[in-house]
Amino acid sequence: MTSRTTTKRTAGQDAHQAHARTERDRLARRKRTRRLITLTLSLIAVGLVALALAKAAPTSTSTAQAAPGFTLKTTTGTTVSLSDYRGKPVVLYFNEGAGCGSCTAQMAEIEKDAAFKASGITVLPIVMNSAEQILPDLQQFGVTTPYLLDDGTVSKAYGTLGTGMHEGLPGHGFILIDADGVKRWFGNYPSMFVAPAELLKEVQARL
């Protein structure tokens, strides 16, 4: 074997080794990049979950302000005024209305709750719908309580717009008004449901 052949072979081996090192470095960089991307995505996911949990957490606010008066038509064609309930506590139930099954199911569960019935506390559901829009939902869930039909004026006056998933609609909120017409409590439930027993406990604690 000549020295020239040996030199060529050595050069070829060096080139092969250099290529192998380059390939290893490239693969290592790719792995590091993948790990970095995975870590970044994981952190983003954790942040989104934390944000969702924070938004889903119910909020509870005690207050002592005069409740804005109102008169609204109902799904039965009658009219209801807040002043009709002066002398006894009432809970206003603002919700998304038509198309929100959990909202209507909430009212159905309140109607079925024996303790709520015995408490003498009236719940007035208020939605930004027409009777034609909301009645099919009430029939589907067997709800018999008349719904109050709001054009947004009352929902805005009570500060419930944009407290849920839709900016122009109420969230899933309850406002307690005592026998003297004073707002005592506002509870908002982004999870779209609260057990009637828990709701009654919150209300009775402030009367």
Distance (Å, whole) CA 36 – CA 139? 53
Distance (Å, whole) CA 126 – CA 48? 32
Q: Count the alpha carbons within 13 Å of 116 in the hemisphere toward its beta carbon.
A: 20
More confident residue, 57 or 144: 144
For residue 66, the cross-strand partners are 182
Same domain, 51 and 63: no
Same domain, 122 and 182: yes
Q: How far is CA 110 from CA 16, 91, 141, 148, in A?
A: 77, 12, 12, 16
CATH number at residue 174: 3.40.30.10
pLDDT tens by residue, 4-57:
555 556 656 666 676 667 778 787 788 777 776 755 654 554 344 344 444 567
Same domain, 51 and 78: no
pLDDT tens by residue, 50-103:
444 445 678 889 989 999 999 999 999 999 999 999 999 999 999 999 999 999
Same domain, 135 and 193: yes
Same domain, 21 and 98: no
With 0-12 / 13-18 / 19 or more C-beta atoms within 10 angstroms meaning exposed / middle / buried, residue 10 is: exposed
Same domain, 67 and 168: yes
Distance (Å, whole) CA 201 – CA 115? 10
Same domain, 90 and 170: yes
Domain with 19 in it: 1-56
Last residue of a domain, one of 56, 86, 102: 56
Q: Count how many domains the chain has.
A: 2
Question: To which H or E segment does residue 21 belong?
Answer: helix 3-56
Last residue of a domain, one of 56, 76, 95: 56
Mean pLDDT along residues 117-138: 98
Same domain, 43 and 72: no
Last residue of a domain, one of 40, 56, 72: 56
Percent of all residues in the chain with a pLDDT value above 70, rounded to a whole number: 81
Distance (Å, whole) CA 33 – CA 6? 40
Same domain, 143 and 62: yes
Question: To which H or E segment does residue 203 belong?
Answer: helix 196-204
Mean pLDDT along residues 116-140: 98
Same domain, 145 and 156: yes
Same domain, 34 and 76: no
For residue 65, the cross-strand partners are 183
Residues 6+ apart with CB under 8 A from 57: 190
Same domain, 87 and 175: yes
| SS3 label, residue 179 | coil
